[in-house]
Structure 1
Amino acid sequence: MPLILAALSQFSAAVADTLAAVSNLEEVSHRRFKPGWGYLLVGAATTVLAWTGSTFTVIALASRAFALYYLLQCLVAFNVCRNSRERVRFSW
Structure 2
Amino acid sequence: MGQPINPRGLHRIFKEVLHHAGLPPHRFTLHHLRHTFATLLLRSKEGPFKVDIRTLQELLVHESLATSSIYPHIDLEQNKQAIETLQFDY
TM, length-normalised to structure 2: 0.33
Greater relative CO, 1 or 2 (CA 8 Å, sep 6+)? 2
TM, length-normalised to structure 1: 0.32
Looking at secondary structure, tell me which structure has more helix per residue.
Answer: 1
Question: Which protein shows a greater Rg?
Answer: 1
